[in-house]
Structure 1
Amino acid sequence: MIDMTFTDLIRKLIDERALVTVGASGNELHGMVTAFDGEQKVLTFKDKGEGGSWHFIPLSSIRSIGYDSSVDGVFCYIDLFKK
């Protein structure tokens, strides 16, 4: 997708219910972005793991977002700043 904005990406992830990986190096969560609150600048993420916790991720905690769409499907990861 050419000229994709952050808003375009988030809408696409929500609309397609794409699998998203949050975290890195063994501390990863797999799930989906279910909402974005632009006023509060927070993503809502639903963990697909046992118990399926909800996570509210402030944009200020996100270091980078990677997105790839291929014939194998959509892959997205959200890398967070380490605290």
Structure 2
Amino acid sequence: MRRRGIAPPRTRSKQQLISSTESRIVRLVSDGYTNRQIAMAIQVSEKTVESRLTRLFARTGCRSRVELATASLEGRLAEKTAVS
């Protein structure tokens, strides 16, 4: 695959831990929100949303918003909990 210039699929672990903000972004993506709408909803810049989505894609092995939403629905994404 690499010789043809195609990136091989990333390995995926059973569950990926994501922060509460990232979890909210995933929910909004699942609801069909655009990056601009997500930025307005969580009161950050559109560039921050793009950056967080890029990191989520890299950590989860997802290549699209649809795959990210599917991973969430299938329970492959777990939210980090604060340890006291």
Q: TM-score range by the shorter chain?
A: under 0.3
Higher relative contact order (CA 8 A, sep 6+): 2
Q: TM-score, normalised by structure 2?
A: 0.23
User: Greater helix share, 1 or 2?
Assistant: 2
CA radius of gyration, larger in:
2
User: Greater strand share, 1 or 2?
Assistant: 1
